[in-house]
Structure 1
């Protein structure tokens, strides 16, 4: 007879639960900011790499191009991002954060830092560092595979 798996002891389940908790904390902390975690990730990546194309951006933030495209469309509608023609290839569009997008990021920067602190709050400072290090190794190990 098949037995039930203890999901509380499986990394996949725990990672999914941790993601749910992280998204809930983000939503609560930034409820009035009109931004989602995915929108923040894309806007933040664009701030660090102005003039990047959509495919490269999608790889950088680990989203599929279709998802990143729809999120970019919403950021454009808010006036936070613009698509500009690539001078080297007019068919290709480059993405740039607008001054309004920079202001939006500046307004939420401390809130985003607080989100990270709240996510890790149950852990000691040493555990927090170790946890982030191990998650990073896990992600990098699977990206290399």
Structure 2
């Protein structure tokens, strides 16, 4: 009979998603909650400009990387193939991006930001600044910089050779 009873183990603290959570899930849960708050701020900044965070994510890639094929946009933004097509359709309809043929491959189209898209991208930064300042104001002196440094290390880990994983 005792063979059916699992052995007793020392259990880790259970996840609570509350301040003081000491579970192995605490960091991830805190990051998720912080992301929701930051995403709300970004969404508030983008709404008057007529775009959403998913559109802005694509514009970021286009500004940083230049013309990018849709497959790579999907990978860079964590979006599936159908989702990226809808976002690019929206951006084209708004005149913020255009699809262009890729020389040598008639099936592949690259997406490129337009001057209007770049203007909106810059306007989004101006609109977001007061909202971001309110978010940073909840932290102490030097904390926003320290938090940015720590999150950067988590988001962009390096292996022992210094190359990103």
TM-score after normalising by structure 1: 0.81
Q: Which has the higher helix share?
A: 1
110-119 or 50-59: bigger deviation: 110-119
Counterpart residue number, 2:55: 39
1:112 and 2:133 matched: no
Counterpart residue number, 1:29: 45
Distance in 2 separating the partners of 1:119 and 1:13? 19
Counterpart residue number, 1:135: 151
Asked if the contact 2:98/2:111 (under 8 Å) is kept, the reply is: yes
1:102 and 2:122 matched: no
How far apart are residue 63 of structure 1 and its match? 3.6
After TM superposition, which residue ranges in structure 1, 4 or more long, deviate above 4 angstroms? none
Counterpart residue number, 1:60: 76
Higher relative contact order (CA 8 A, sep 6+): 1
How far apart are residue 125 of structure 1 and its match? 4.0
TM-score after normalising by structure 2: 0.73
Counterpart residue number, 2:85: 69
Distance in 1 separating the partners of 2:133 and 2:64? 22
Per the alignment, in what secondary structure is the counterpart of residue 49 of structure 2? coil
1:89-136 Cα shifts (integer Å, max 9, x gaps): 121111111222122223222123444333332113421111111111
115-124 or 5-14: bigger deviation: 115-124
Cα distance change on mapping 1:71 and 1:125 into 2, 3 Å: farther
1:25-51 Cα shifts (integer Å, max 9, x gaps): 223333311111221121122122222
Unaligned runs of 5+ in 1: none
